[in-house]
């Protein structure tokens, strides 16, 4: 990989937001990365529901392609995020992707 030092005027590549409150959580690093990917998508292209809360439709196949994992593995990480209280999935009609709501962890003192 060709790399260089960062000068003060260098434009940075597109980056994802990573909440520091994720660091101490006892979930896998891949689940943390997937959370950041979903959060980034919500912040950029989220859809407002009837209550004004943002969510996304993120098909498993797209998530799998984005993190280079198989669909079954993505499902396992989504379950991990849901169990940790970081996302909430709302089932839709058969054949449609779930609504995914991102929950933001609170700062620990």
The answer to whether the CB of 59 falls within 8 A of the CB of 97 is: yes
The pLDDT value recorded for residue 50 is 94
- Write the CATH number for 32: 1.10.10.10
Interval 26-42: pLDDT, tens:
999 999 999 999 999 99
Domain annotation covers residue 18: no
Domain annotation covers residue 97: yes
Please state the domain count of the chain: 1
* Band of residue 89 on the pLDDT scale cut at 50, 70, 90: very high
The residue segments making up the domain with residue 86 are 26-102
Domain annotation covers residue 35: yes
Structure tokens at 47: 């859809």
Higher local confidence (pLDDT), 42 or 11: 42
CA distance 109 to 107: 6
When the pLDDT of each residue in the chain is averaged and rounded to a whole number, the result is 90
Domain annotation covers residue 109: no
Interval 42-64: pLDDT, tens:
999 999 999 999 999 988 899 99
CA distance 87 to 77: 11
CA distance 10 to 8: 6
Domain annotation covers residue 14: no
Domain annotation covers residue 46: yes
Indicate left, alpha or beta for 81 from its phi (over 0: left) and psi (-120 to 50: alpha).
Answer: alpha
Q: What pTM does this model have?
A: 0.84
**Nearest 5°: phi and psi at 63?**
-60, -45
Whether 69 shows a pLDDT value over 90: the answer reads yes
**Burial 29-63, CB ≥16 within 10 A → b, else e:** eebbbbbbebbbbbeeebeeeeeeeebbebebeeb
């Amino acid at each position: 990989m060709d790399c260089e030092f960062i000068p003060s005027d260098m434009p940075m590549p597109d980056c994802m937001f990573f909440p520091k409150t994720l660091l101490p959580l006892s979930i896998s690093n891949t689940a943390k990365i997937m959370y950041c990917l979903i959060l980034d998508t919500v912040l950029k292209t989220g859809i407002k529901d009837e209550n004004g809360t943002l969510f996304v439709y993120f098909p498993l196949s797209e998530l799998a392609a984005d993190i280079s994992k198989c669909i079954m593995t993505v499902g396992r990480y989504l379950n991990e995020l849901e169990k940790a209280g970081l996302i909430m999935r709302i089932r839709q009609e058969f054949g449609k992707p779930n609504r995914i709501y991102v929950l933001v962890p609170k700062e620990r003192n």
